[in-house]
Amino acid sequence: MRVSIRIIIADDHLLFRQGLRSLLRLRDDIELAGEVETVRDLHGVLAETPCDILLLDLQMERSSMDDIVDVARRTKVIVLTANESTEMGMRALRLGAKGVVQKRFAIETLITAIHTVADGLVWTPPSLQAELAEQGNSPVRRLTAREAEIVRCVASGLRNAQVAEHLSISESTVKTHLNKIFQKLDLRDRHGLMHYAIRTGLVSLDRSR
């Protein structure tokens, strides 16, 4: 049986915290360990309440960006933001955040990010993938642009023939690419490839359905 992941929510919007609290309490794999509504109180709560992951709103009563370095030494940090700027997301990751989740995403995306980060990996939205890949910091940097494109297609539910038609290549070329992708990522099947694509942000949960 998997141990529950202990979460602390740091957000200054009461309605958002209440909604998130209600949704997380429906999960038996996540435990809400605490809440905080100001950056000022954040460090004290972390010192008194052990947790596995901190869900940190970047736009609280003041920006919490500069606090990431310190809190990331104590726990894994997933930043929550309504701002879709890739620059802000990149800065949060450089400061030590292990995940960036935009508030417009569905709760299922946040749950995936929580489990990904709890497993020691990094979760980022698709909007950050290209920039991360260019800088050589992305989990998908081992894939070529064409391979990443094929992964997106397969994870979206397309069969080999459909991928070939979509990308205007032969089906045998698709199979060759897939064999190389499986070897590079040490995966065995399309099911594992779909999980990899969601975990690394190559596709969102909505696109993978």
pLDDT in tens, the chain (209 residues): 457 899 999 999 999 999 999 999 889 899 999 999 988 888 889 999 999 999 999 888 777 788 898 898 899 999 998 887 788 888 888 888 999 998 888 888 899 889 888 888 788 877 776 666 555 555 555 677 788 889 888 988 899 999 999 888 999 999 999 998 888 887 888 888 887 777 666 665 544 43
For the chain, the domain total comes to 2
| 134 part of a folded domain | no
CATH of the domain at 165: 1.10.10.10
Q: Distance between CA atoms of 10 and 71, rounded to whole angstroms?
A: 12
115 and 147, same domain (yes or no): no
| 119 part of a folded domain | yes
What pLDDT score was predicted for residue 56? 94
CATH of the domain at 119: 3.40.50.2300
Domain boundary at 125, 153, 176, which?
Answer: 125
104 and 195, same domain (yes or no): no
Q: Distance between CA atoms of 5 and 171, rounded to whole angstroms?
A: 42
Q: Distance between CA atoms of 56 and 8, rounded to whole angstroms?
A: 8
| 198 part of a folded domain | yes
What pLDDT score was predicted for residue 208? 41
10 bridge partner residues: 36, 56
What pLDDT score was predicted for residue 207? 44
- Residues 26/110, Cβ–Cβ less than 8 Å: no
What pLDDT score was predicted for residue 121? 78
Q: Which residues form the domain of 186?
A: 139-208
Distances (CA, A) of 58 to 3, 191, 199: 28, 34, 22
In sequence order, the 6+-apart residues with CB closer than 8 A to the CB of 72 are: 95, 96, 97, 98
What pLDDT score was predicted for residue 136? 53
Residue 74: name the closest of 109, 38, 47, 37 by CA: 47
Domain boundary at 78, 95, 125, which?
Answer: 125
- Signed CA dihedral, 203, 129, 107, 78: sign only: positive
112 and 146, same domain (yes or no): no
- Signed CA dihedral, 106, 108, 109, 115: sign only: positive
Sheet containing 5-10: which strands, arranged edge to edge?
30-36, 5-10, 53-57, 76-81, 99-102
What pLDDT score was predicted for residue 125? 77
51 and 118, same domain (yes or no): yes
69 and 148, same domain (yes or no): no
16 and 80, same domain (yes or no): yes
Coil, helix or strand for 187?
A: coil
What pLDDT score was predicted for residue 199? 67
Residue 201: name the closest of 117, 144, 135, 136 by CA: 117
102 bridge partner residues: 81
What pLDDT score was predicted for residue 52? 96
121 and 152, same domain (yes or no): no
